[in-house]
Structure 1
């Protein structure tokens, strides 16, 4: 057994909260679920111990004897040994099972290490939350310039640019991402938001609402207002307008009403309370 240090600790149910959950707010914590009888566990341990020494405090390795701590193993759904979970900011964010190459383990650790640009990102997201969109964009551009391989920064910048009304700039940022990152839900949702931002074309809500009042059955006015509502976060009002487009102008702009609803579902996500309701209403209009 490798000697325990502050960076390599034996963990039980009694100290898991402090040793893993609380510590994961400061640095990544790898939790190694193992057992004495498990040969692959014994093979993996020297690799993990080597990385602990090499990273010199940048992450913690917490070892859980699954035979002695069956409650913990059950709580985290451990079905085979070894199972190694990475905890960050209070929750499991990654895992692997079995013996893995050192390079693969290193990639997981590196993914969750704090980077200098993370502090700038935190400031930017705080400004975005406070409504200072221009300030957030400025911070995120600076962060991307200092850490161009940090792909989450580009996603955050694209999201801020959408809020700032710069759909073209947002699309440029998303186009810089590697192909595998394009499959992430956050990127798919942003792509869908860009459809709305382009349709709204930067026109303010009051102008678009007046256009619909003046021309209540104009499909272009309905589509642009629905898009603007989605950009503004007024999703239910937007989907009501897209349903109206489907009912009255099915052929307009290659069935823009249905396409708008599908994009809205993508933005909101499948678990949103409105998605099931409006999906059923959309289907009832189709058949």
Structure 2
């Protein structure tokens, strides 16, 4: 048993109090282990070191799965060690097997509050109140104080996009470490930058529609219309316009139709509308 004040054993009798309730105030990492498990013994000091390093911002609760079989079964533990992170009374992340400290720390950083997160909350409040300049100043201060908190970068990019400063937002997103390239939020924001750039300085949506109706072969205006529709939440209308661009001229503006559809797919994520439109795009390409 560790002598750290941030590491403790839990049982089914006190799990609700020491894990579920405590995780409302501070993240609790629950280590399901057993005496016979060699990897568990290898992982234990790594978790202890992390608990001490975070100095009370993280607690580590240990569950002997041989003794607390019902608790292990309740949380779907099938192999040891299994480690689950509780925040707000629920599991928000987990891993199995021995992991290097760097990988575990990366997982934790997504959930452990930082001082710069308080500035993020203040910035969100200011933005909601309409004081965008104050919000931007708070986010830039947070980035300066804590350059490793890339959640600040995402908030700042999002606000810059909403203010029409897409070039600065894209530059900031492109400057993130390579490991964030496949992050869903980063890809979503980059897709928004692309669409915003396509309809920059465009007239209102109704005027764009009227222009395209009057001049169907004006693909530059149709491209603006497609982007404007998607940014307005009219996804099907926008994607239909991109498909029409592909039908009329696949190579227009460096394959703007295909690029616009891919950006729309990023924004929609797992939405059921993606599959049929992806199929239509594929058919036009082949």
Same-fold call, TM cutoff 0.5: yes
The corresponding residue for 2:223 is 223
How many equivalent pairs are there? 285
Give the distance between the partners of 1:108 and 1:252, measured in 2 at CA.
43
**How much has 1:239 moved relative to structure 2?**
0.9
Give deviations 1:119-166, integer Å, cap 9, x for gaps: 111233345567765554343223222222211111221122112111
Give the distance between the partners of 1:74 and 1:176, measured in 2 at CA.
44
Over the aligned positions, Cα root-mean-square deviation in angstroms equals 3.1
Partners of 1:205 and 1:225 within 8 A in 2: no
Give the distance between the partners of 1:32 and 1:183, measured in 2 at CA.
29
Superposition pairs of residues 47-62 of structure 1, within 5 angstroms: 47-53=46-52, 55-62=54-61
Partners of 2:81 and 2:98 within 8 A in 1: yes
Give deviations 1:204-251, integer Å, cap 9, x for gaps: 534534433443442111101111222333322211211222233334
- Structure 2 SS opposite 1:87: strand
Corresponding position: 1:114 with 2:137? no
Give the distance between the partners of 2:163 and 2:256, measured in 1 at CA.
24
Give the distance between the partners of 1:256 and 1:197, measured in 2 at CA.
13
- Gaps of at least 5 residues in structure 2 are none
The corresponding residue for 1:211 is 211
Superposition pairs of residues 47-126 of structure 1, within 5 angstroms: 47-53=46-52, 55-100=54-99, 105-106=104-105, 108-109=107-108, 112-126=111-125
The corresponding residue for 2:180 is 181
Superposition pairs of residues 181-260 of structure 1, within 5 angstroms: 181-206=180-205, 207-260=207-260
Corresponding position: 1:36 with 2:59? no
Give the distance between the partners of 2:132 and 2:114, measured in 1 at CA.
23
Partners of 2:4 and 2:48 within 8 A in 1: no
The corresponding residue for 2:171 is 172
The 1:235/1:16 distance shift into structure 2, 3 A limit, reads farther
Give the distance between the partners of 1:134 and 1:203, measured in 2 at CA.
25
- Structure 2 SS opposite 1:253: helix
The corresponding residue for 1:140 is 139
Give the distance between the partners of 1:81 and 1:74, measured in 2 at CA.
12
- Gaps of at least 5 residues in structure 1 are none
The 1:254/1:52 distance shift into structure 2, 3 A limit, reads closer
Runs of 4+ in 1 over 6 A off after TM superposition: none
Partners of 1:163 and 1:231 within 8 A in 2: no
Normalised to the residue count of structure 1, the TM-score between the two structures is 0.83
Partners of 1:133 and 1:163 within 8 A in 2: no
